[in-house]
Amino acid sequence: MIRPTLYLDFDGVLHPGHAQPNERFGLQNVLVDAISGYELDIVVSSSWRFQYTLAKLKSVLHAEIGRRITGITGDPVVGAHSRWREIERHALFNRVRNFRALDDSGYLFPPDCGALILCDGARGMQAAQGNELRRWLLAQP
């Protein structure tokens, strides 16, 4: 079985994009509810990966999320659809064949990217994105 992998952004997903420090990660429960009971690896695609170690990133997240984190996407890519290209590079190098990206920056992905679960950055992850993620996980062999 090929484990599904979620490429996870933080700002605009786990909290609204302009959240105050005390409001950060306030929407983790939506993600936890969507992934509980499913096999899933998580790779951090958020720009937070440039400021914090992997251990620190895991420590600020809900345990259900943190324990699933297997890595980060790595060095930044410059140019059109940069987040998508970072994810593609990581997926190719790590032989990740089955993935989705949970992100609020649609412009960092090609138009109509089927692997993107898009959040409204002003609101962060909501039930609709949780349901979309759950439907994908339910469809796994």
pLDDT at 128 exceeding the cut of 90: yes
Answer for the pair 94, 1: CB distance below 8 angstroms, yes or no. no
Q: Percent of the chain at pLDDT above 70?
A: 99
Confidence of residue 65 (pLDDT cuts 50, 70, 90): very high
Is 83 in a helix, a strand, or coil?
Answer: helix
* Level-2 CATH architecture, domain 5-138: 3-Layer(aba) Sandwich (3.40)
DSSP 15: B
**In the chain, what are the domain boundaries?**
5-138
Average pLDDT for residues 66-92, to the nearest whole number? 96
pLDDT at 46 exceeding the cut of 60: yes
Structure tokens that stand for 42 in this block: 């998580």
Task: Return the H-helix or E-strand segment holding 127.
Answer: helix 127-138
DSSP state string for 48-80: GGGTS-HHHHHHHS-HHHHTTEEEE--S---ST
What global pTM score does this model have? 0.96
Other C-beta atoms within 10 Å of 26: how many?
Answer: 13
Confidence of residue 1 (pLDDT cuts 50, 70, 90): low
